[in-house]
Structure formats: structure tokens, C-alpha cells
Chains A and B, each alone.
Chain A
Amino acid sequence: MSGILVLTEQSSGAWHPMSFEALAAGIQLGRDLSLPVTACVFGRGVSGLASELAGRNVQAVVALEHEALGQYTADAAVAAIEWLVRDLQPDYVLLPHTYQVRDFAPRLATRFGRVLLSDTTGYTIESGAAVFQRQLFQGKLTADFAFQAPAPNFVSIQAGAFRADALESDAASVSEKAPVLNVSSLRQHPEAPFREAARAVDLSAAERIVAVGRGIQEEGNIPLVQELADAFGAELAASRPICDNGWLPMERQVGSSGQTVAPKLYLSVGISGAIQHLVGMKGSRCVVAINKDPEAPIFEIADYGIVGDLFDVVPALTEAVKKARS
């Protein structure tokens, strides 16, 4: 075939929501390059999921079934998808940039002597070919990348870069395929996923959140933002480095590895705005950012921004909020 192969992700029969964002990217790219789109779901017992994909504006659907794909391992995923790509010979293979895709897709691309363009945020068409955008320096700069090698080319799509397409259309044909795998060559032995501890705070229910990042410099400065949170009647949350350092408990981490929140007010203090943080709070109604760096990526998604030293701005703001709310 020539065309676009979109690999979706599921675990235990539940979709990873980014699957549909990758699918939307694939459908859009297919339209722009006049290429047919095939969607694939891989795993064990995925025929039901495959028939759901059939109604989603694609030309064909593949259910890639194998006993060894029941619980994810990198070795099995790479071998199965390598088999499928050799079988279908697509021009592009699109994947959602999930943690699982980070784990296997670079290895998959290497099997074909290709480079995965990872975590892309969009594409433009230049002289008939797709040029993909990626963030550099944790979102501080953007770069345009082009493929120079013949098909197949591999691209993963950043969370939130494309809107999952709700458009339903006529059912595409579903084919079931069984990859040929050498089961004895699979080396990773996974155990069941687990959570570290019960969550005492449910940040997703908070109406207001004050979130603190590495700009706070040291643990002894945390009370400064706690007072601001108290003045607002807000929960205190944090970016990852704050929780890694143990300055606040893990359960207060917002982002792709932590909680996803959507409060009325999300006020970030000394947070740069890396994508892994943004995916956890982008749905907030009103975003305020306080940061000394006017170029910090957090300002790209903020409604209100204050460029300044948090050690001056936060105490002033705490006072002003107290006055306004008393």
C-alpha cells in the first residue's frame, strides 16, 4: 500500500485517549497528501475495539492480534508492528507520543533504518511534502524537520496537538492479522501496574489551584506560596521537580505523570511550562503565570501574565487577595 498507518493504543480493552488525536492527525495528513489512512489496534482480543475504529473516517482498519501482545512489552510490540509495517508498506506511520510509544517506537524505526520524529506538534506542507514541527529546549523554541529518507517514515504526535475527531463516517473494512512472532525472543517480563499510595488530595475537584515550580528555589520558601494559596482558598499543587525533591508530596504533582486538573483558576508560580506539565492543567478555565522569564512557554497558554521575581510578586499578591476577599 501507499498511505498512512496510524497506530492506536489500548490497555485491557480501554482506549488511550491520545489514540484519537493521532488518528485526527493521520486523517488530516491523508487529506493533505491524498493518501488513504489505515488505523491499527494491537493487543489480545481487540476485535471489538477494531470495529469502533471502523466508523472513524478511515479507509481500513487492522486488528493486530497475538497472545504475546496481551500485556505490553517493548520486544513484542516492536516485533509485531515491524511485521505489520513490512506487510502494509505505508509511507507514514503515525503514533500518539505516549509513554508506551516512547518505549518502543525508536526501536521500531531503527529496524527500518529510519529516525522517528518524536513528539511533533503539527505539520505544514512545503512544496508538496510534509514538514513537521517539534519543540526544542522544553518548549522555548520550535524547529521544523523534514524527512530525507524514503518510506516508511515514523512520526509521533504530542498530546493535545490535534483535536480528537468526533466525525463518524461509514464503516471501513476491518481485517484481522496475526503477526509472526518468535515468542522465545521476548526479553521483558512485566508485572501488574500499580499506584504508589492512595491519594489523600483530589486536586481534580479543586476550584482554585496555586501551583509552584522550581523557581521557588528551596523547600524553606514553600510557605510563601502556601500563604498565597490560603488567601485564594486554593489547593497547593506543584510541578514535578518540587515533588521529586520531596518538598511537596507526589499526590500534589500536576502533569502527565501526576494529576490532571481543570479548576476555575490555575495560578502558576515559577513554572516554565514544559509539555508534561501543561497536559495536566491545560483544561483550566483561567490560567495565570508568574515567571521572571518573559519567554517562558507557560505564557503561551496563560490568560494573565506577570513577568517578575516571584519573591516580590507573590507577597504583594497575597496581600492584595486578602484585602479583596475580606
Chain B
Amino acid sequence: MKILVALKQVPARDSLLRIDASGRWLDESDLSFEINEPDAYALEAALQLKEQHGGEVVVLSAGPERAVSAIREALAKGADRAIHVEQENLGEFDTLSLAKLLAAAASSEKADLILTGLQSDDLGSGQTGVIMAELLGLPHATIIMAVEASGQGVRVKRELEAGWFQHVSMPLPAVLTIQSGINKLRYATLMGIKKAKTKEVRKLTAAELGVQPESSVSLLRIYQPKRVKQTQMLAGAPAEQAAQLVEKLKFEARVI
């Protein structure tokens, strides 16, 4: 079974986010980056499917040069090879043209299964995998919590709201967007890290793939959220904060 995993490198989760001079993105100078969390689960799902059924796991990532470290990490965890769509101006691509870029790179691979995380922690539009499915003419399912592959098809467990789930079957090839928590992530071994250095990373550009940036939607500006509620912040040493809070909860909010 050939599985393609589209993954994105995003700012590390607990980063301090500073808006840059353009007011349209972050100052990346002292950010550290990591594999987008749901994408890490998608990679793990692919590696487990390969362990069960044999085959190949190919990582696909569009990103600037720095995305190489995310790609190497995926290879170190066990992916067989990678395609890096290296492009510094990805901010000029809207969700659709970015998915076109990934779909163009994916199409010649003819994978049985394409996995992505269900959304990215930075932009969070939650659409890339689904749009790729449409562009490639493949069936899809989202928010996936289990994957059983058998012969010509796949049966998945979709998460619904409020603790409900549903099984859905569909023919392969297909695109699935994976939910965080579907499995337990593995760590890269020293051996894996060593091996990763020798694995193939094919570089492609948007021009080579024949895809232009488009902006049918455009990001105008980013800013700190506006507070809707007046929060009373309790200052002082921990013991003072605790004492103030108990006072407030007892005599102001009357909830204890």
C-alpha cells in the first residue's frame, strides 16, 4: 500500500507570537517550528498502516527551506522518502492554490491513500486535504479516529460531535484527514535519524508544477483578539493570588 502524507511545518505550540512589520504575518526571526500536530498523527497512522500491510510512506510538504527539518523528522520516524515543494512565497497562495500545488505534486505518485492532519495549528482553515480530494477526483472523509484498510477499500471511524462516532467505507484511492489522538506518536530512534540522512528528498517548485499563486481570499491584517469580557486579574505571589481568589469566589461570585 502506498501512502502519501501531506504535512506542514508550523510555529511550535507554546511560541510567543509577534506580529511583523507588514501586519500580515508573524515575525519569524526567533520562532521555533515543529510538525503540525494533527499531521504528526497522520504520519503515525501511515506508518502503522505500512506496518500492517507493507508498502511505502511518502511525505509531501510545501514550505520554505526551513521545512526540511520537519521532513527529516518524518523520515527519521520511518517515512521512506519525501517530496518538498520548496517555495518561499507560500503566503501568496490561498487555500485553493496551495492545495493545487500539493495535488499537482501528489498526482504522479498515484498513492492508494493520502493522509493529512485535519487542520493546521497556524491558519486553521481545516480544508487542505478535502480540497486535494476534489482536485484529484478522490473520495474523502474527515476527522478520522481509526483506519482499517482492506483490499480495494477503507473503513474509517469519523468523529461526530458530542461524543458520537460513525463508520464510513469508501473505495481506494481516497483522502483522509486525521484527528489528533488517533494513535500514540512514536519517537525517532537514533538509528532512524541516521538513516533519514540518506533518504531521498525530491525538491520541486510551484513553477515546475505549473501552479500559480491565487488569492480569491486575501488576508488583510492580523492583530491581538479584542477582549469581550472584563477579566479580574489577580496579582501577587501564589499564596496571595489563592487567597484573593477564594475571597472573590466566596463573597463576590458566591460559588463556594
Contacts and interface: CB of A to CB of B under 8 A. Distances in A.
A107 B225 contact: no
Contact of B217 (A147, A285, A293): A147
A56 interface: no
Nearest to B95: A115
A240 to B, nearest CB: 7
Contact of B253 (A196, A232, A303, A312): A303
Contacts of A199: 163
A98 B126 CA distance: 12
A224 to B, nearest CB: 13
A297 B225 contact: yes
Nearest to B15: A137
A99 B139 contact: no
A114 B166 contact: no
Nearest to B248: A304
Contacts of A320: 239, 242-243, 245-246
Contacts of A304: 231-234, 245, 248-249, 253
Interface in B65-121: 94-96, 99, 118, 121
Interface stretch (A25-33, A35-43, A253-261): A253-261
Interface stretch (B45-53, B56-64, B127-135, B192-200): B127-135
A102 interface: yes
B134 A232 contact: no
Interface stretch (A60-68, A85-93, A116-124): A116-124
Interface residues of B, number: 74
B180 A244 contact: yes
B216 A142 contact: no
B212 interface: no
A259 B228 CA distance: 24
Q: Main SS of the interface on chain A?
A: mixed
A312 B237 CA distance: 9
Contacts of A208: 255-256
A166 interface: no
Given A106-B131, A293-B14, A312-B238, A137 B232 contact: no
A173 interface: no
Given A313-B238, A320-B242, A142 B141 contact: no
B122 interface: yes
A15 interface: no
A138 to B, nearest CB: 6
B11 A137 contact: yes
Given A187-B171, A190-B166, A142 B160 contact: no
Interface of A: 73-75, 98-99, 102-104, 106-107, 109-111, 113-119, 131, 134-149, 187-196, 199, 208, 232, 240-241, 243-245, 250-251, 253, 256-260, 264-265, 285-286, 288-289, 293, 295, 297, 299-309, 312-313, 315-317, 319-321, 323-325
Given A116-B127, A288-B245, 4 more contacts: A99-B142, A103-B158, A251-B163, A300-B231
28 contacts: A74-B140, A74-B141, A99-B160, A103-B142, A117-B217, A118-B126, A135-B124, A141-B17, A141-B225, A142-B222, A143-B219, A144-B220, A146-B217, A146-B220, A189-B170, A191-B168, A191-B169, A196-B165, A199-B163, A250-B163, A265-B253, A299-B233, A300-B229, A303-B229, A304-B245, A308-B241, A317-B245, A320-B242
